[in-house]
Amino acid sequence: MRPSLGRALRTLGISVLVFLFAIVAFLLGAVVAANIVGIPEGADMSGYNYLQGNLVRLLLALPAVYVVSSFGEEVVYRGFLINRLAELTPKKPRWWIAVIVSGLIFGLAHYTWGFVGIVETGFMGIALGAAYLKLGRNLWLTILAHAYMDTILFVQMYLGG
């Protein structure tokens, strides 16, 4: 195996672990939200109804969500915001403060998903931020993990769930 292929496979493998970590955090967010407001119906995903049963729309939407959400959100919330917030925070745990604040902002950015969605994505954002920090600020790991989550979300909406 060439070194670049080995590096790519290692990146893919680690990104799957980041994805699993983020999913666990997302589920933990659902538990926290349930303890605040009772057992919720779940996040409001009605904005994705256009995908239900429409394969052409799914296939058109996936590349768009990879650029805007998977890539774009990771560049903004992990690559930019965490680093800028850390620069503004004078305390020693500044990186962790930056991760938490950026995760909270990430959650708030998903306000259209309702309270549950804000909490779930907030926890997921903190997990992605922690992974970004702990894995040497390798943005590709979180971009790929985010892409896996977006794919699952969109396929789930396509299937009607």
Count Cβ atoms within 10 A of the Cβ of residue 48 and give its class: 0-12 exposed, 13-18 middle, 19 or more buried: middle
Each residue's pLDDT tens digit, 69-122: 999 999 999 999 999 999 998 878 899 999 999 999 999 999 988 888 899 999
3-class SS of residue 1: coil
User: With the C-alpha atoms ordered 59, 13, 141, 18, is the resulting torsion angle positive or negative?
Assistant: positive
Residue 91: how many CA atoms within 13 Å on its side-chain side?
Answer: 7
45 vs 126, residue with greater confidence: 126
- CB contact at 8 A, 122 and 29: yes
For residue 107, give every residue at least 6 positions away whose Cβ sits within 8 Å of its Cβ, in sequence order, or none. 29, 118, 119, 120, 121, 122, 123, 124, 125
3-class SS of residue 150: helix
Mean pLDDT, the chain, whole residue set: 91
Token pair in block for residue 6 = 């080995």
Each residue's pLDDT tens digit, 40-71: 666 677 888 899 999 999 999 999 999 999 99
The per-residue pLDDT for 43 is: 67
Nearest CA among 98, 94, 112, 92 for reference residue 44: 112
What's the predicted TM-score (pTM) here?
0.90
| 89-to-63, 105, 109, 111, 125 alpha-carbon distances in Å | 36, 16, 22, 26, 19
